Amino acid sequence: MIKRNLLVMGLAVLLSACGFQLRGTGTNELAIKELDLSARNAYGETVTQLRQVLDSSGVKIYTGAPYKLVLTDEQESQRILSYAGAGRTGEYQLNTVLSYNILSQGNLSLIDDKLEVQKVFIHDGNNLAGSDQEANDARKDMRRELVQRMMLRLQQLTPTQLAQLQQTAEAKAKAEAAALEAAQKAEAETPRQSPIELPQQ
């Protein structure tokens, strides 16, 4: 018994030493301490939950922050996985894709990516109320998972990474502006061809 307890304690120490944490027990410590947050659906449940989690993680959310997280789109789709004819009972899969963009203070795009979550639920044609409730519960779980995944993405960002992304975005914007200016200059310097005059008959 003592040997087993020592083994369990030893494993726990090893796992914690290599950074392993049980889901839900870790901290939501972020390198980003200030963030502007917006969404296409400004009062949607996903952005509301994300704002609450960021706030509880010590992130100050305000307009004009150094970085801006924009939830650009959230699409849900549903498909039948299996169908059991007579009783009209079947498995359905819900799929939600959340597209987002992280912008610099000058509105340069630093990260343009998306998150995707899936959930399977049972639809019983003989119990529509129960099936609707199960679908709603599945959607809540998916939203919670989307917020967790977004927090994980944000946790992985360091000030160094953000500074590098900012430099890359600025260089790209500068190159695009120079290319546009060169194209406009070339067009301005190209002699305009006079309209062809047809001989009078």
Tell me the pLDDT tens digit for each residue of 12-49. Answer: 444 444 443 334 434 557 888 999 999 998 899 999 99
- Token pair 């901290």: residue: 27
51 falls within a domain: yes
Average of per-residue pLDDT values in the chain: 81
The predicted structure's pLDDT at residue 16: 44
19 falls within a domain: no
DSSP summary character for residue 1: -
**Sign of the torsion formed by the C-alpha atoms of 8, 10, 12 and 14:** negative
11 falls within a domain: no
The predicted structure's pLDDT at residue 125: 62
Q: Which of 8-12, 89-93, 108-112 has the highest mean pLDDT?
A: 108-112
Determine contact, residues 154/32, Cβ cutoff 8 Å: yes
For range 4-8, the mean pLDDT: 47
46 falls within a domain: yes
126 falls within a domain: yes
201 falls within a domain: no
200 falls within a domain: no
pTM: 0.70
Residue 19 backbone class (left: φ over 0; alpha: ψ -120 to 50; beta: rest): left
Total of domains in the chain: 1
Q: Which helix (H) or strand (E) holds 81?
A: strand 67-84
128-168 confidence digits (pLDDT tens): 666 778 888 999 999 999 999 999 999 999 888 988 988 88
105 falls within a domain: yes
- Residue 68 structural domain: 27-172
CATH number at 39 reads 3.30.160.150
Total residues belonging to the chain: 201
